[in-house]
């Protein structure tokens, strides 16, 4: 007969956090939510670290370029969904990397002989209001002027008017010399009340633009997750079928980290994928794997070279893997088991491999519970699908606004690669549903509330960091009766319409 585990498979809702001593250092502004994203050696720092412990799920209905930008600006990271063409996914990665770069290579350039109609067409294509006017129309040609929305009036100026007749010529431009620091460039922008500053070399060739809005945006987003070149950090999902073609394209596009997207990561397919990537890129490309739910699955992927490991099968709000296949485990039990394996592996090898809790989050306090149980960061789909920045439509259903949300295992997504177990290339049966989630508005507004709750909860636990929460946090199992006790009870709630 099969091996039978007598341990109860538990969810986050079956636990509560026990308060710890809240000393005078425990106030929300003093709580750090930084978390390692990829593996590192004992005594060293991870090469990639999150400023908040959130990543968005590798899903068509969640992680497009807009989500990638919004989440990175607020300290987290998106894994751009891989159930699309390699070209389209790579372009999404590029959009995130280009959004804010400090020194921005100009993508919108024309020559003096182009017309106002060309300016308007280019603006409509790219959304860029600042256009570099170069001798040959390239991003690195000799700079002859710039065009902004202040230089023309579409309602009055003829569309065949040449750019040289209305551009701001080079002689009137304030510019910076190549080699200038970002701080120096921002000082010039500030002192001269500019919106943008072109950066040129000794031959007057255009190299970059520095924009005022990037400086102001950074001040509004102090947790922004960016690389050494001030570009936003972004991840990308891959599968174990076309990785030899997809991975090079994503790396060329600028992806900072990859993740194999699969409902079941305990497989030789993932081992082959990990080992190929590590060999092909000399271990420099960081890649996560999963999903697993126990020690054996974790150790298999750890030894195969995974830089982080996702935990959870069947706990997502749109996932029906447990219902369809009877495969899975309660998310809380999975995290506790895998975290213990991760800590044991760290003691034995000196390599710390972060684990990502994927699924099972219903309430905001579940996020803190998952971290206390040993998760380093959380991957969420439903939470992010509700926001303006998700790729789906906002609809009015039964007099309330909703956003579409569907699983990668649904017929709508047709992401057969995620559930691939070899054989023919098709979706044999559904492991996800097509649904709606209540529309919630902008990501930042909601995220600020969630992070505020998390910091407050951690203060009540007497801790000011995720590491301290893991080491000193206290958790208790709750009964069905105490779950009822925890909500509003024995009162008549006021009707909002009364």
> What does the alpha-carbon distance between residue 400 and residue 198 come to, in Å, rounded to a whole number?
47
Angle, helix 295-304 to helix 268-280, in steps of 10 degrees:
30
Are the beta carbons of 212 and 234 closer than 8 angstroms? no
Tell me which of 246, 329, 386, 418 is the catalytic residue.
418
Beta-bridge mates of residue 352: 40
Q: Is 418 a catalytic residue?
A: yes
Would you state the structure tokens that stand for residue 468, as one six-digit string? 């301290």
Would you state the structure tokens that stand for residue 202, as one six-digit string? 């000794």
What b/e readout covers 387-418, taking b as 16+ CB neighbours within 10 angstroms?
bbbbbbeeeeeeeeebbbbbbbbbebbebbbb
Tell me which of 26, 259, 319, 461 is the catalytic residue.
319
According to DSSP, residue 179 is labeled T
> Do the strands 257-260 and 235-238 form a parallel or antiparallel pair, or are they unpaired?
parallel
* Cα dist from 33 to 18, 51, 76, 259, 448, whole Å: 20, 6, 10, 22, 13
Q: Closest Cα partner for 81 from 255, 309, 225, 306?
A: 255
> What does the alpha-carbon distance between residue 263 and residue 431 come to, in Å, rounded to a whole number?
9
Would you state the structure tokens that stand for residue 231, as one six-digit string? 């570009």
Q: Closest Cα partner for 149 from 182, 169, 119?
A: 119
Query: DSSP secondary structure string, 302-350?
Result: HHHT-SSEEE-SS-STTB-HHHHH-----HHHHHHHHHHHHHHHHHHHS
> What does the alpha-carbon distance between residue 248 and residue 90 come to, in Å, rounded to a whole number?
10
Q: What angle do CA 16, 21, 25 make, to 5 degrees?
A: 120
Q: Closest Cα partner for 377 from 110, 76, 126?
A: 76
Q: Closest Cα partner for 92 from 81, 106, 103?
A: 81
Residues marked active site are found at 319, 418
């Amino acid at each position: 007969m099969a091996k039978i585990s007598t341990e109860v498979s538990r969810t986050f809702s079956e636990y509560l956090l026990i308060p710890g001593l809240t000393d005078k250092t425990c106030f929300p502004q003093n709580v750090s939510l930084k978390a390692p994203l990829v593996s590192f050696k004992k005594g060293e720092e991870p090469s990639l670290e999150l400023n908040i412990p959130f990543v968005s799920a590798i899903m068509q209905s969640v992680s497009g370029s807009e989500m990638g930008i919004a989440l990175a600006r607020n300290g987290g990271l998106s894994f751009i969904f891989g159930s699309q063409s390699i070209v389209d996914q790579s372009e999404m990665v590029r959009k995130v990397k280009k959004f804010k770069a400090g020194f921005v290579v100009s993508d919108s350039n024309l020559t003096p002989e182009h017309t106002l109609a060309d300016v308007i067409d280019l603006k409509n294509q790219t959304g860029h209001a600042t256009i570099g006017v170069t001798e040959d129309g390239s991003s690195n040609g000799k700079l002859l002027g710039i065009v902004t929305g202040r230089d023309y009036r579409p309602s009055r100026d003829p569309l065949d008017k040449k750019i040289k007749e209305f551009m701001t010529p080079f002689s009137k431009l304030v510019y910076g010399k190549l080699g200038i620091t970002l701080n120096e460039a921002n000082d010039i922008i500030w002192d001269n009340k500019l919106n943008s500053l072109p950066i040129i070399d000794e031959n007057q060739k255009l190299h970059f633009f520095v924009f005022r809005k990037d400086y102001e945006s950074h001040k509004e987003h102090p947790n922004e997750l960016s690389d050494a070149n001030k570009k936003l950090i972004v991840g990308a999902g891959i599968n174990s079928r076309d990785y030899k073609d997809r991975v090079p394209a994503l790396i060329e596009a600028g992806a900072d980290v990859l993740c194999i997207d699969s409902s079941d990561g305990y497989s030789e397919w993932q081992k082959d994928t990990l080992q190929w990537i590590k060999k092909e890129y000399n271990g420099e490309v960081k890649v996560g794997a999963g999903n697993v739910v126990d020690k054996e699955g974790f150790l298999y992927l750890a030894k195969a070279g995974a830089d982080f490991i996702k935990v959870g099968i069947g706990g997502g709000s749109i996932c029906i893997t447990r219902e369809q296949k009877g495969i899975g485990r309660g998310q809380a039990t999975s995290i506790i088991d895998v975290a213990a394996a991760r800590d044991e592996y760290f003691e034995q090898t000196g390599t710390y491999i972060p684990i990502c809790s994927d699924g099972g989050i219903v309430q905001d306090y579940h996020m803190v519970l998952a971290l206390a149980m040993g998760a380093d960061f959380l991957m969420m789909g439903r939470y992010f699908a509700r926001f303006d920045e998700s790729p789906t439509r906002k609809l009015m259903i039964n007099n309330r606004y909703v956003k579409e949300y569907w699983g990668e295992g649904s017929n709508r997504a047709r992401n057969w690669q995620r559930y691939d177990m070899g054989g023919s290339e098709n979706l044999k049966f559904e492991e996800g549903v097509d649904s709606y989630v209540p529309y919630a508005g902008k990501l930042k507004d909601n995220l600020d509330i969630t992070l505020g709750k998390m910091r407050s909860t951690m203060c009540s636990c007497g801790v000011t960091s995720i590491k301290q929460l893991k080491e000193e946090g206290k958790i208790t199992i709750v009964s069905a009766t105490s779950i009822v006790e925890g909500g509003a009870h024995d009162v008549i709630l006021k009707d909002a319409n009364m």
